[in-house]
Structure 1
Amino acid sequence: MNAVTAIIPCFILSIPFWSQDAQSFLQKEWIETNGLGAVISGTAGMANTRNYHAHYGLINKSGERITLVNNLEVNIIDSHGKTTSLSSQIYPGNIFHPSGIDHIKEFSSQPNPRWSFELGNADIITKEIIYIRNTDKVIVKFKLHGKDTYKLIVRPLMSGRSYFGIRKSYYPLSFPPLTVLHEKVRFHWDKAIPDFYMGHNGIWKSQELYYWNTFYPLTAQRAEDPLENLYSPGEVFFELNANNNEAFLVFSEKEESLADAKSEMQNEILRRNKRALKIKTNDPRLKLMAINSEHYRFTRIDGKKSILAGFPWFLDWGRDTFISMEGLVLMMGEIDEAHEILKNFATYEKNGLLPNMFPTLGSIPVYNSVDAPLWFIYTAFLSLQYGNDRTRFRTDLWPTIKNIINAYIRGTLYNIHMDFNDGLVVAGEDQVQLTWMDAKLDNWVVTPRRGKPIEISALWYHALKNAIDFSNTNGEVVDKNWIIAFELIQKNFEKKYYSFEKQHLIDVADAYDPQESSLLRPNVLYALSLASELISTNVALKTLSAVEENLLTPFGLRSLSPKERNYIGRYEGNLHDRDAAYHQGTTWAFLIGVYLDAKIKWMPEFSQNNLRKELDALLEEAMNFSIGHASEIFDGDSPWRPSGCFAQAWSDAEILRIAYKLNLWKYSSAK
Structure 2
Amino acid sequence: MGSWDRVPRRKYHGQWISRALGRANPEHLLLDILERHLVSEGQEEPLVDFDFGHGPGNSGVSLLQSFTDRPHPRWIYLLNNGKSELTRTFRFFTDKGCEGIEFEYELSPKSSPVVLSLEPLFTIRNVHALAQENLALDGTIEKIGRPKKGQAMSYSFKPYEDLGTFNLTLSCDHGMELLGNWYRNFFYVEEEERGYPAKEDCFCPARFQVKMAPETKFSLRFLLVEEKEKSNSNDIRKHGSASPQPLSGEHSDFFHALSQSLNSYVYQDFKHRQFEGVIAGYPWFSAWARDTFISLPGISLSWNDPKRAMQLLQSWAPNVERQLFEKKSEAAILDLNCSGLDSPLLWGAALRFLLEEHPVKTPKSSPLARELVATLERWILLFFQGECPLVEITDFGFFCKRGSYATSWMDARVDGVPVTPRHGYPIDINALFFENMDFLLRNHTQLKAGAARLFKNYLEKVCGTYAANLWVAERSFIGDGHDGLNLDGSLRPNQLWALRSKFEMFSREQSLASMKRITEELLTPLGLRTLSPEDSRYKGQYRGDQATRDHAYHQGTVWPWPIGIYTEAALKYWEVSKVKATLAPVFAALEKHFYEEGCIGQISEIFDGNQPYTLRGAPAQAWSVAETLRALWLIENLKS
Q: TM tier, shorter chain?
A: 0.7 to 0.9
The aligned counterpart of 1:584 is 555
- 2:203 equivalent among 212, 231, 242: 231
The aligned counterpart of 1:54 is 14
Separation in structure 1 between the aligned mates of residue 560 and residue 325 of structure 2, nearest angstrom? 25
The aligned counterpart of 1:307 is 278
Matches for 1:155-166 after TM superposition, within 5 Å: 155-166=119-130
Tell me if structure 2 keeps the 8 A contact 1:123–1:145. yes
| Structure 1 residues 287 and 470: alpha-carbon distance in aligned structure 2, compared to 1, 3 A threshold | closer
Question: Over residues 359-418 of structure 1, what are the superposed CA-to-partner deviations in whole Å (9 max), with x where a residue is unaligned?
Answer: xxxxx9433211111110111121123231431433542332122111111123342232
Separation in structure 1 between the aligned mates of residue 512 and residue 283 of structure 2, nearest angstrom? 38
- 1:401 equivalent among 371, 376, 388: 376
- 2:362 equivalent among 379, 388, 395: 388
- 2:602 equivalent among 615, 618, 629: 629
- 1:141 equivalent among 104, 110, 116: 104
Separation in structure 1 between the aligned mates of residue 392 and residue 636 of structure 2, nearest angstrom? 40
TM-score (normalised: structure 2): 0.84
- 1:177 equivalent among 126, 139, 146: 139
| Structure 1 residues 245 and 542: alpha-carbon distance in aligned structure 2, compared to 1, 3 A threshold | closer
Matches for 1:44-193 after TM superposition, within 5 Å: 44-59=4-19, 60-77=21-38, 83-96=44-57, 99-119=59-79, 123-132=84-93, 135-146=98-109, 148-167=112-131, 169-170=132-133, 173=135, 175-182=137-144, 183-190=153-160, 193=163
The aligned counterpart of 2:388 is 413
The aligned counterpart of 2:342 is 371
* Aligned-pair CA distance for 1:437: 0.4
Asked if residue 607 in structure 1 is aligned to residue 569 in structure 2, the reply is no
Q: State the secondary structure of the residue aligned to 1:45.
A: coil
- 1:506 equivalent among 455, 459, 479: 479
Q: State the secondary structure of the residue aligned to 2:338.
A: coil
The aligned counterpart of 2:231 is none
- 1:247 equivalent among 219, 242, 253: 219
* Aligned-pair CA distance for 1:156: 1.0
Tell me if structure 2 keeps the 8 A contact 1:116–1:127. yes
The aligned counterpart of 1:12 is none
| Structure 1 residues 661 and 551: alpha-carbon distance in aligned structure 2, compared to 1, 3 A threshold | same
Separation in structure 2 between the aligned mates of residue 555 and residue 141 of structure 1, nearest angstrom? 34
- 2:167 equivalent among 191, 194, 197: 197
Separation in structure 2 between the aligned mates of residue 533 and residue 580 of structure 1, nearest angstrom? 33
Question: Over residues 293-312 of structure 1, what are the superposed CA-to-partner deviations in whole Å (9 max), with x where a residue is unaligned?
Answer: 32222224544222221222
Matches for 1:139-538 after TM superposition, within 5 Å: 139-146=102-109, 148-167=112-131, 169-170=132-133, 173=135, 175-182=137-144, 183-190=153-160, 193-201=163-171, 202-241=174-213, 245-254=217-226, 280-283=248-251, 284-302=253-271, 303=273, 304-350=275-321, 353=324, 365-385=336-356, 386=358, 387-390=361-364, 391-394=366-369, 396-419=371-394, 421-422=395-396, 424-472=397-445, 474=446, 477=449, 479=451, 480-511=453-484, 514=486, 517-530=488-501, 533-538=504-509
| Structure 1 residues 641 and 354: alpha-carbon distance in aligned structure 2, compared to 1, 3 A threshold | farther
Separation in structure 1 between the aligned mates of residue 406 and residue 162 of structure 2, nearest angstrom? 32
- 1:546 equivalent among 490, 512, 517: 517
TM-score (normalised: structure 1): 0.81
The aligned counterpart of 1:34 is none
* Aligned-pair CA distance for 1:101: 2.3
* Aligned-pair CA distance for 1:447: 0.9
Question: Over residues 87-144 of structure 1, what are the superposed CA-to-partner deviations in whole Å (9 max), with x where a residue is unaligned?
Answer: 23233232226x2222223323233322232345764332222222553222222233
Gaps of 5+ in 1: 1-40, 257-267, 356-363, 667-671
Q: State the secondary structure of the residue aligned to 1:374.
A: helix
Q: State the secondary structure of the residue aligned to 1:629.
A: coil
Question: Over residues 215-248 of structure 1, what are the superposed CA-to-partner deviations in whole Å (9 max), with x where a residue is unaligned?
Answer: 2233334332222222222212233335863132
AA at the equivalent of 1:509? H
Q: State the secondary structure of the residue aligned to 1:295.
A: coil
Tell me if structure 2 keeps the 8 A contact 1:368–1:432. no
Tell me if structure 1 keeps the 8 A contact 2:438–2:503. no
* Aligned-pair CA distance for 1:475: 7.3
Separation in structure 2 between the aligned mates of residue 406 and residue 144 of structure 1, nearest angstrom? 67
Q: State the secondary structure of the residue aligned to 1:636.
A: coil
| Structure 1 residues 348 and 197: alpha-carbon distance in aligned structure 2, compared to 1, 3 A threshold | same
| Structure 1 residues 491 and 643: alpha-carbon distance in aligned structure 2, compared to 1, 3 A threshold | same
* Aligned-pair CA distance for 1:511: 4.9
Separation in structure 2 between the aligned mates of residue 379 and residue 455 of structure 1, nearest angstrom? 15
| Structure 1 residues 487 and 71: alpha-carbon distance in aligned structure 2, compared to 1, 3 A threshold | same
Tell me if structure 2 keeps the 8 A contact 1:352–1:407. no
| Structure 1 residues 221 and 594: alpha-carbon distance in aligned structure 2, compared to 1, 3 A threshold | farther
Question: Over residues 319-378 of structure 1, what are the superposed CA-to-partner deviations in whole Å (9 max), with x where a residue is unaligned?
Answer: 1111112223325413343123212212323258499xxxxxxxx943321111111011
Q: State the secondary structure of the residue aligned to 1:650.
A: helix
* Aligned-pair CA distance for 1:572: 0.8
Gaps of 5+ in 2: 145-152, 229-237, 327-334
Tell me if structure 2 keeps the 8 A contact 1:612–1:659. no
Question: Over residues 263-310 of structure 1, what are the superposed CA-to-partner deviations in whole Å (9 max), with x where a residue is unaligned?
Answer: xxxxx9xx99x9699665534545533432322222245442222212
The aligned counterpart of 2:332 is none
Question: Over residues 474-518 of structure 1, what are the superposed CA-to-partner deviations in whole Å (9 max), with x where a residue is unaligned?
Answer: 475361322232323443232131233443211112358x5x622
Tell me if structure 2 keeps the 8 A contact 1:285–1:620. no
Tell me if structure 1 keeps the 8 A contact 2:98–2:223. no
Tell me if structure 1 keeps the 8 A contact 2:10–2:188. yes
| Structure 1 residues 462 and 64: alpha-carbon distance in aligned structure 2, compared to 1, 3 A threshold | same
Separation in structure 1 between the aligned mates of residue 580 and residue 33 of structure 2, nearest angstrom? 46
Q: State the secondary structure of the residue aligned to 1:49.
A: coil
Identical aligned residues as a percent: 23
Q: State the secondary structure of the residue aligned to 2:590.
A: helix
Q: State the secondary structure of the residue aligned to 1:417.
A: strand
Separation in structure 2 between the aligned mates of residue 153 and residue 395 of structure 1, nearest angstrom? 62
| Structure 1 residues 236 and 412: alpha-carbon distance in aligned structure 2, compared to 1, 3 A threshold | farther
After superposition, the CA RMSD in angstroms is: 3.3
